[in-house]
Amino acid sequence: MTETDLLRRNVNLIGGQWVAADDGATLDVTNPADGAVIGTVPKSGTAETRRAIEAAASAFETFRKTTAAERADMLFALYEAIRTNVDDLAFILTSEQGKPLAEAKGELGLSAAYVRWFAEEARRAYGDLIPSPFKGRKLMVTREPVGVTAAITPWNFPSSMLSRKVGPAIAAGCTVVIKPASQTPFSGLAWGALAELAGFPPGVINVVTGSASVIGAELTANPLVRKITFTGSTEVGKILIRQAADTVKRVSMELGGNAPFIVFDDADIDRAIEGAMIAKYRNAGQTCVCTNRFLVQDGIHDAFVDRLARATGELRVGRGTDEGVQQGPLIDEAAVAKVEELIADAAGKGGRIVEGGARHALGGTYFQPTVIAEATTAMEIAQEEIFGPVSPVFRFNDEAEAIALANDTPFGLACYFYTSDLGRAFRVSDELRYGLVGVNDGFITTEVAPFGGVKESGIGSEGGPYGIDEYLDLKYISLGGLD
Ligand code: ADP
């Protein structure tokens, strides 16, 4: 077995055993760069998921009693395993996801960073001693692991989305059942292999692949699961919240966004363009924090559109594994069809395509990086998450109009704005109803800060000093009779 084979598992990990689906059924996994089938993974169902949950529940009884230092050491070993294997893991990721290899390596770097952060945080899950209003009593608060955690993750960041869930869950003392997206299961299964390399006890991390709705139904219905942590669409998030209600599970939801990127007249245009290119085109526009709407003030509008179109036209599109490629293919044909539909709707309502606008000459699911000027709120693109390399530019007149436009959405994940006026920087930050705000900054994700949305973008926060709270329950102990 080569290192890559060791990490690219094509069976599920349940209770420390690598196993096929009970009936041997499999799902094909394709490379979006050329549509070729690169392997298969088990099409597991209810029975396999139940066994994974039971394995996690049984492992939890021992794992919850490990010391914080022991769990920190396991996470440091996991961090080392990711770092040592970063090239192989990045290659696996690009082969099933399509993003440029440099971005895949960046994602693995972030995975390692989250794991290291939570290795450090494991030892800081302090409790409290509350001054008692009664004589002879001590009031103590401790924090305990919530229990078996189900982690359901998407295809756009198949590795780093797991690091923000598995890292804090393990740090807290929880055990985990992972259900990766069907488009990118190898990166999810790799977490099982990495956990083995890092010496995790059997059953602490389990990975099942297969039909999302079947596995999701068991993960949400089974009373042994105490926590659902999900990253994906708002639509599926709502289903999971409903399903989890019957057994009153804790939920963390990182859902869709509709990020505005506001450029005020007083912005430094060079910085704004630099930030725009990252905030829009990273992962071909397929991230939940990707700019969905550029809102640009009258005075700087034409210059900004011109510069954005030029930079967009210069992006190198191609196979993620080819040197120097900046934009890979979209994940699948449905993603391309959606982008085409949104562009046609915008063009039909007065949008002016200034760059791109169509499928790329490379064929398959490659798409031209696109800029559409004269965008308006009547267009579907104003409300829908694009999830593709398309930049619609809206024009505005003053600060109040920009804020109103920015907040005119049920979503509230990331937003960005560029200004060189300090007063405006604070004023506008205060008014934007979003969980994440980038001021003169187009790439804000870091393991040391919280990540989470408001409104229909989600519940809870990942990363930073707060991320571990999602996996800990408070327990209050009143110790009386001390006088
Ligand atoms: P995306 O648009 O990123 O594909 P989805 O919300 O469709 O977002 O998928 C995110 C994750 O949720 C994937 O792992 C997918 O397989 C899973 N998923 C989709 N539908 C369901 C469902 N009904 N129950 C549980 N998980 C689901």
Q: pLDDT tens across 56-72, in order?
A: 999 999 999 999 999 99
Evaluate: CB of 212 within 6 angstroms of ligand 1.
Answer: yes
pLDDT of residue 6: 84
Pocket flag, ligand 1, residue 153 (CB < 6 Å) = yes
Ligand 1 pocket check for 388: Cβ under 6 Å? no
Q: Answer whether residue 103 shows pLDDT above 80.
A: yes
Per-residue tokens: 326 = 């900046």
Q: How far is the CA of 464 from the centre of ligand 1 (A)?
A: 25
pLDDT in tens, 141-198: 999 999 999 999 999 999 999 999 999 999 999 999 999 999 999 999 999 999 999 9
Q: What is the pLDDT of residues 111-149, one digit of tens each?
A: 999 999 999 999 999 999 999 999 999 999 999 999 999
Cα–Cα distance, 250 to 462 (Å, whole number):
14
| Residue 435 DSSP label | S
**Nearest ligand 1 atom, CA 217:** 24
Q: Which parts of 15-69 are beta strand (E)?
A: 17-19, 26-30, 37-42
What interhelical angle do 234-245 and 212-221 show, nearest 10?
40
Decide if pLDDT at 3 tops 70: no
| Dihedral angle over CA of 150, 152, 157, 163, nearest 10 | 0
Ligand 1, atom 27, lies closest to the CA of: 212
Residue 1 has pLDDT above 60, yes or no: no
Catalytic residue among 96, 103, 288, 470: 288
What are phi and psi for residue 431, nearest 5 degrees? Answer: -90, -20
Ligand 1 center–CA 181 separation, angstroms: 7
pLDDT value of position 387? 97
In whole angstroms, what separates CA 327 from the centre of its chain?
19
The verdict on the CB of residue 232 being under 6 Å from ligand 1 is yes
Neighbours of 358 (CB within 10 A): 12
Which residue out of 103, 254, 385, 399 is catalytically annotated?
254
**Residues 6 or more apart in contact with residue 334 via CB below 8 angstroms:** none
Pocket test for ligand 1, best of 152, 336, 384 (most atoms within 8 A of CB): 152
CA of 240 to the centre of ligand 1 (A): 10
Encoding tokens for residue 358?
Answer: 């169509």
Residue 4's pLDDT band, with cuts at 50, 70 and 90, is confident
Average pLDDT value over all residues in the chain: 98
Q: Does 349 have pLDDT greater than 70?
A: yes
Ligand 1 probe mutation, 99, 177, 187, 236, most atoms within 8 A of CB: 236
What phi and psi, each to the nearest 5 degrees, are found at residue 116? -65, -40
Q: Is the CB of 236 under 6 A from ligand 1?
A: yes
Q: Please indicate whether residue 288 is annotated as part of the active site.
A: yes
Classify strands 37-42 and 128-130 as parallel, antiparallel or unpaired. unpaired
> Which amino acid is present at 402?
A
pLDDT at 245 over 70: yes
Annotation says 290 is catalytic: no
- Phi, psi at residue 370, to the nearest 5°? -130, 140
- CA dist 396 and 385 (Å) reads 21
In the three-class reduction of DSSP (H, G, I as helix; E, B as strand; rest coil), residue 250 is classed as: strand
